[in-house]
Amino acid sequence: ASAALDTLAGWLASARHVAVLTGAGMSTESGIPDFRSYQGRYTQNASLADVLSIDYFLHNPAAFWEAFKEIFELKLTGDKQPNAGHRFLAWLAAQGKTVSVLTQNIDGLHQRAGSEQVVEVHGTLQQALCPACGRMHDLAHVLAEPLPRCLSCHTALKPDVVLYGEAVHRFDEALTHTLAADVLLVLGSSLEVGPINLLPLEAQRHGIRCALINLDATRMDRCFDLILRAPIGQTAQALQARLEGSR
């Protein structure tokens, strides 16, 4: 593992542009469970993909919102804090590198850690939009009522999150950042969810170095030149120490 860490640190040291694709595993060390944990904990009968789907929302918005708030433990106070992994990415950008964070997460922790270039391909928990008139509403309004409604036209609001059955946001932008990068680093994703899981495949096809830090094997492991099966936080700290040492 130490040799792989040295190699990855070397790639990052010489890269001008690093694209980083992150998933739910990025935030588990901040106390936010990833999806496999939700599966066991929340839904005994219906699958998570059924509950968090656009169909369920359209047919039963009140039940959808009740489940959505429970699954994501929605609270007004941002009690979850960025961890060492989030902070490492902000630090890397502060060293003068272009760091494009392409995240499947909806928790906003990359921005809270100080990353400036963040593409939220699955949207954000911080707001909800009116499907009828497009007006955005903040989290405080969403939490005030069991079934939050638009302040302009009274339509049931939808979280500004990509539900199962909906198209991802900003995929072209995520792909452009990936193909412009010298290194693609994937952190904490099972790479089960499409089309985002195609980014490593595209990067590999274009000869871009691909590295993965993930506890479990993923279905896209063959796309990576280097894989570290280790927790993100301590790995990020080890990388930062090497990069600081090599300056």
Binding of residue 25 to ligand NAD (CB under 6 A)? yes
Given the residues 86, 110, 122, 177, select the one marked as catalytic.
122
Q: CB atoms < 10 A from the CB of 199, how many?
A: 27
Q: Cα separation of 93 and 168, whole Å? A: 26
Active site residue 59: no
Binder among 50, 55, 70, 216 for ligand NAD (CB under 6 A): 216
Task: Report CA 26 to chain centroid distance, whole Å.
Answer: 7
Q: What's the chain's length in residues? A: 247
Binding of residue 24 to ligand NAD (CB under 6 A)? yes
Binding residues with ligand NAD: total (CB under 6 A): 26
Binder among 111, 178, 189, 240 for ligand NAD (CB under 6 A): 189
Binder among 67, 101, 175, 232 for ligand NAD (CB under 6 A): 232
**Which residue has the CB atom at the shortest distance from ligand NAD?**
25
Q: How far is the CB of 102 from ligand NAD (least distance, A)?
A: 11
Binding of residue 27 to ligand NAD (CB under 6 A)? yes
- Indicate the residue among 73 and 153 with the shorter CB distance to ligand NAD: 73
- Indicate the residue among 221 and 225 with the shorter CB distance to ligand NAD: 221
- Interface with ligand NAD in residues 86-125 (CB under 6 A): 104-107, 122
Binding of residue 84 to ligand NAD (CB under 6 A)? no
Q: How far is the CB of 16 from ligand NAD (least distance, A)?
A: 26
Tell me, letter by letter, the H, E, C secondary structure of 108-142: CHHHHHCCCCEEECCEEEEEEECCCCCCEEEHHHH
Question: Which residues sit at the interface with ligand NAD, rule CB under 6 A?
Answer: 23-25, 27-29, 32, 34-36, 104-107, 122, 188-190, 192-193, 213-216, 231-232
Active-site residue numbers?
122
